[in-house]
Amino acid sequence: MFAHVDINNCYVSCERLFRPELEGKVVVVLSNNDGCVIARSNEAKAIGIKMADAEFIVRKNLKEHNAVIFSSNYPLYADMSARLMNNLARYTYTLMVYSIDEAFMALGNIQGIDLDKHAATISANVMRHTGLPITIGVGPTLSLAKLANKAAKKQKRPYLLLDTPEKIDETVLNFPIEDVWGVGLAYYNKLVERGIKTAHDFRQLKADFVRKQMTVQGWRLHQELWGKPCNVIRDVAERSKGIESSQSFNTYQTLLDPIEEAVAMHAATVALKLRQQNSMALMLTVYIRTNKHNVKHDQHYPSITVKIPVAANNTHQLTCVAVQALRAIWQPGYNYLKTGVRVTGIIPAGEVQFNLYNSYEHSREQKLSGLIDELNSRYGRGTLRMAAEGFDKKWVMKQEFLSPQYTTNWRQLITTK
């Protein structure tokens, strides 16, 4: 058996955890640059706020209902996510973190377990230890566990067990096909054309027909909905195929200097992520974007991918490569709104091929990056950084409603009277 666990209205729940007076009120969290709604409380859903609604479109509605608005506070959400995962790991031998707010747990290898009591214990203890409300779905396959989780939410239950064929049959009977995990827009359109509206309808299709029409992925989903496991929990994190850091500016940028600062910051971010997973990158891509929605402006979306001489993860080398790449594609006369850095060709740090001419310098740069990480870990991110990242940073994204980093910044701890 498997369990799927996720945080209810994750970002909103993280904000409410430190603002309990917001319980029962309309709360939304906005995306980068305060552009779109990316998390809603149940009260926000009830007044018609939809995911990805632009803030300026729903502003009047939010104001009429005295909504509380937050800019996204990713350091806070990531820290609360880590606390959740640490708690979940106590109740399983195998935990797969699927995203910042959800995870799969293997329960089949725990002897003599009472699934009902186990799910209730997890739900209660996670709330007690982290303050985060969660929903748990349990089923014989990952797909059914995920389906059980969604069904539990619709029934407003803390958990739902699909541990018998009768319970599975009853749950899938009217479960919308578009809510089934793995059914994207392309599959949905194809299925609807054939009159498939529910998970039950999908299960009635012939397996050979599903494999022919929906490839092996659709066939695996079909099998899983019949309770036959085809997907497995991976307890070893897979190495990323690419790492990207990007951000929109708070206003149009027409000069090279501020864009260089942003690119240097993104290069430092991807370098840090590479070091955290003990990897190095062989290729680096830099891109800049104008606002495609602003038809009054000339458009320019250049990008460039360069090969790094020797696979690297140190901040100094990646910053130099990224800034040089930017200078090759930047052109005056355009109003740039976004830039980003992406690294690919990622390999384990222990498999890098050095040569006689750069190994010494490389070692020095590695030690410097290690020192930067150590100091920033102790005194806060950005304490020590490359000068190319700038100091004034007038280009940073808009975050008018940003809450404090309650759990990751000593200066922003909650104070009591």
- Six-digit token pair at 155? 């029934």
Residue 415: exposed, middle, or buried by beta-carbon count in 10 A (0-12, 13-18, 19+)? exposed
Q: What residues contact 267, with CB distance under 8 A and at least 6 apart?
A: 245, 284, 315, 318, 319, 321, 322, 323, 341
Which amino acid, 14? Answer: C
Under DSSP, the state recorded for 340 is E
pLDDT tens-digit series, residues 358-406: 655 567 788 888 888 888 888 777 788 888 888 877 777 778 899 998 8
What 3-state DSSP class applies to 67?
coil
Whole-number Å distance between alpha carbons of 362 and 359:
5
**Which architecture does CATH list for 242-389?**
2-Layer Sandwich (3.30)
- Given this model, what pLDDT does residue 399 score? 83
All structural domains of the chain with their residue ranges: 8-73, 76-226, 242-389
Q: What mean pLDDT comes out for the span 339-352?
A: 87
Looking at 3.40.50.620, 2.40.50.100, 3.40.1170.60, 3.40.50.300, the CATH number of the domain 8-73 comes to 3.40.1170.60
Nearest by Cα to 403 from 128, 129, 68, 62: 68
Which amino acid, 159? Answer: Y
Residue 290 pLDDT more than 80?
yes
Q: What residues contact 56, with CB distance under 8 A and at least 6 apart?
A: none
Find the angle CA(33)-CA(42)-CA(198) to the nearest 5 degrees. Answer: 105
- Given this model, what pLDDT does residue 237 score? 54
CATH of domain 76-226: 3.30.70.270
Residue 85: exposed, middle, or buried by beta-carbon count in 10 A (0-12, 13-18, 19+)? middle
Whole-number Å distance between alpha carbons of 137 and 154:
12
DSSP 303-336: EEEEEEEEEE--HHHHHHHHHHHHHHH--TT--E
pLDDT tens-digit series, residues 48-95: 999 999 988 999 999 999 999 999 998 899 999 999 999 999 998 888
pLDDT tens-digit series, residues 219-272: 999 999 999 988 777 655 556 678 999 888 888 999 999 999 999 999 999 999
Under DSSP, the state recorded for 297 is S
- Given this model, what pLDDT does residue 364 score? 79
Stretch (H or E) spanning 352:
none
